[in-house]
């Protein structure tokens, strides 16, 4: 019986060595495939990033155009559209002028001030919305033209 156990022990040892070898091969293959997958994922992520940058590069200009145009028409006297476009000084000028207009509205002068600021907002809103996306971007975001 001892011989039989010895044969079984040898067979078990041989099976263990085979399993160990197979596991080592499997691990090696898994490492290679994981590396390939990681490389493919990096490549795909880079392609996606480049595609997204290209697709959304003009979106900021278009969104700012629409937002600035609508704000200029509806809230132009407060200068919010100027702040959206990054013109803080001009936005403060419109806001302060509106506050002065509201403060002096009981005098007749305030209503003329408010009307002038309101007309400026309407005109700028119409100009913003009638320009093409490229014209708007080049004029107000690249060229930094603050008025009309």
Q: pLDDT tens digit string along 34-93? A: 677 667 666 765 676 666 555 445 544 456 888 899 999 998 888 888 988 888 999 999
Task: Tell me which residue of 115, 95, 93, 120 sits closest to 105, measured CA to CA.
Answer: 115
Q: Is 122:110 a contact under the CB 8 Å cutoff?
A: no
My answer on whether 68 and 87 are in the same domain is yes
My answer on whether 50 and 78 are in the same domain is no
My answer on whether 31 and 67 are in the same domain is no
Q: Which of 57, 73, 93 is the last residue of a domain?
A: 57
My answer on whether 13 and 66 are in the same domain is no
Please give the mean pLDDT across all residues of the chain.
80
- So what's the pLDDT on residue 54? 58
How confident is residue 2, by pLDDT bands cut at 50, 70 and 90?
low
Q: Rounded to two decimals, what is the model's pTM? A: 0.55
Q: What percent of the chain has pLDDT over 90?
A: 25
Higher pLDDT among residues 1 and 87, named by residue: 87
Report which DSSP code applies to 137.
I
Q: Which of 35, 57, 79 is the last residue of a domain?
A: 57
Instruction: Reply yes or no on whether the pLDDT at 104 is more than 80.
Output: yes
My answer on whether 75 and 46 are in the same domain is no
Residue span of the structural domain in which 73 resides: 59-142
- So what's the pLDDT on residue 73? 92
- So what's the pLDDT on residue 117? 93
Residue 147 lies in a domain: no
Residue burial 10-24, b: 16+ Cβ < 10 Å; e: rest: eeeeeeeeeeeeeee
Q: Is 38:58 a contact under the CB 8 Å cutoff?
A: no
- So what's the pLDDT on residue 14? 82
Residue 148 lies in a domain: no
């Amino acid at each position: 019986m001892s011989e039989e156990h010895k044969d079984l022990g040898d067979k078990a040892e041989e099976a263990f060595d085979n399993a160990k070898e197979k596991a080592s091969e499997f691990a090696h293959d898994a490492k290679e495939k994981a590396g390939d997958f990681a490389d493919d994922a990096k490549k795909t992520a880079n392609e996606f990033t480049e595609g997204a940058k290209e697709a959304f590069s003009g979106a900021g200009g278009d969104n700012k155009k629409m937002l600035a145009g609508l704000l200029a028409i509806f809230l132009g006297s407060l200068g919010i559209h100027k702040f959206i476009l990054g013109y803080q000084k001009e936005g403060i000028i419109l806001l302060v002028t509106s506050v002065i207009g509201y403060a002096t509205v009981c005098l007749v002068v305030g209503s003329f001030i408010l009307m002038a600021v309101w007309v400026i907002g309407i005109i700028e809103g119409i100009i913003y919305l009638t320009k093409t996306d490229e014209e708007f971007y080049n004029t107000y975001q690249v060229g930094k033209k603050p008025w009309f």
